[in-house]
Amino acid sequence: MATIRLGDIAPNFTAKSTEGNINFHEWLGDSWGILFSHPADYTPVCTTELGTVAKYKPEFDKRNVKVVALSVDGLESHKGWVNDINETQNTTVNFPIIADEDKKVSELYDMIHPNANDKLTVRSVFVIGDDKKVKLIITYPASTGRNFDELLRVIDSLQLTAYHKVATPANWKNGEDVVISPAITNEQIPSMFPKGHKEIKPYLRMTPQPNLD
């Protein structure tokens, strides 16, 4: 099985989902995307996760990010589970959930880790850019729920650094100062970063976030 690495084109697939058939690349269009897997339907942690994603969907929309979930159970099971999610999490699931009964997508994205469980997917997360390339991979064990605030933070960083020659420091949040790329010379800084900068060390130069007014 091929391993997916950062920078690879996200493998395309067609699959059934709670919102109809999906051709992944066509469905993404020119958006960014998050594909995240769930060990199984009617599991407690997943129920809280999917409810959280539904509540966060306006934040993903604001960032031009489409979200799609996956579980190895079937479509009818998904539909019943969505009712439970809506009821228990006080929300409305507003994104597709892929039915991957044949585990085709799970195997394509290496979501089943036999030493953890040979039948269920781990909690995989793939963030995919508008160029269809994989920008982030996180793998959680089945027992640990994901932090969607962190995913939003990472997407803010990925989108910022994709279009500006900067990096984001530890614990960075949207709106805070960023690191100027070491490839930028001091002479280039004034024209590229007109808000000014602070040199802490020759290799560590900070500037206000460039994509904010």
Does residue 114 carry a pLDDT above 80?
Answer: no
Cut 0.85: pTM above it:
yes
pLDDT tens digit sequence for 68-91? 999 888 888 999 999 999 999 999
With a pLDDT cut of 70, the percent of the chain lying above it is 94
Does residue 60 carry a pLDDT above 90?
Answer: yes
Which residue has better confidence, 38 or 135?
135
Cα distance between residue 208 and residue 124, in whole Å: 33
Q: How confident is the model at residue 109 (pLDDT cuts 50, 70, 90)?
A: confident
Cα distance between residue 133 and residue 203, in whole Å: 29
> What is the fold of 14-145?
Glutaredoxin (3.40.30)
Strand 65-71 and strand 97-99: the pairing is parallel
pLDDT at 144: 86
Q: How confident is the model at residue 24 (pLDDT cuts 50, 70, 90)?
A: very high
What does the block give as tokens for 35? 């594909």
Does residue 117 carry a pLDDT above 60?
Answer: no
With a pLDDT cut of 90, the percent of the chain lying above it is 71
14-145 and 164-207 share one fold: no
Tell me which of 10, 15, 46, 122 is the catalytic residue: 46
- Mean per-residue pLDDT of the chain: 90
pLDDT at 90: 92
Residue the block writes with tokens 């994205």: 109
In our burial notation (b when 16+ CB lie closer than 10 A, e otherwise), range 66-95 reads: bbbbbbbbeeebbeebbeebbeebebebeb
One CATH from 3.30.1020.10, 3.40.50.740, 3.40.190.170, 3.40.50.1220 for 164-207: 3.30.1020.10
Average pLDDT for residues 17-34, to the nearest whole number?
Answer: 96
Does residue 25 carry a pLDDT above 80?
Answer: yes
- Catalytic, 41? Answer no
Domain locations in the chain as residue ranges: 14-145, 164-207
Does residue 42 carry a pLDDT above 90?
Answer: no
pLDDT at 55: 94
Average pLDDT for residues 178-201, to the nearest whole number?
Answer: 94
Does residue 135 carry a pLDDT above 90?
Answer: yes
The answer to whether residues 10 and 24 touch, using CB atoms and an 8 Å cutoff, is: yes
Q: How confident is the model at residue 150 (pLDDT cuts 50, 70, 90)?
A: very high
For the chain, the helix, strand and coil percentages under 3-state DSSP, each to the nearest 5: 30, 25, 45
Does residue 104 carry a pLDDT above 90?
Answer: no
